[in-house]
Amino acid sequence: MQQYIKDSSKSVQEVVDTICEKASNYKFGVLHIHNVKETLNSKGVEFDDECQILDVCNPGVAKEFLTANRNLSAIMPCKISVYSKDGQTSVVMNPVEDLARPIEQSVLPLAKTTQETLYKLIDEAI
């Protein structure tokens, strides 16, 4: 599986804010943001770099996936990770098509379209 990875000159928070702002233009919503640094630090585990994971979903796509095969719920919602390492901000996403392939072949065209849409959102955010 080839992850989609893009670097940005923006801060992690700027990229996250832009994804949240622009997601609806692509018919996606941000369901939740996991702030990994805050969560780990609150549990007494020191982690210095920023890392936020966004759960994003298009309700129409979700319904089609679940109608085809409820086991696809295991790869939902789509996740976009935004993190910093050594001062560099990066965005990474696993390909929806690759995640869906072993579960349900019939949704692969929709998975590919969904993946390409999310790549456009990421490209706009960076």
Give per-residue pLDDT as tens, 86-96: 999 999 999 99
Q: Which fold has domain 4-125?
A: TATA-Binding Protein (3.30.310)
CB 1 within 8 A of CB 96: no
pLDDT tens-place string over residues 23-73: 999 999 999 999 999 999 999 999 999 999 999 999 999 999 999 999 999
Q: What is the pTM of this model?
A: 0.94
Crossing angle, helix 59-68 and helix 108-125, to 10 degrees? 150
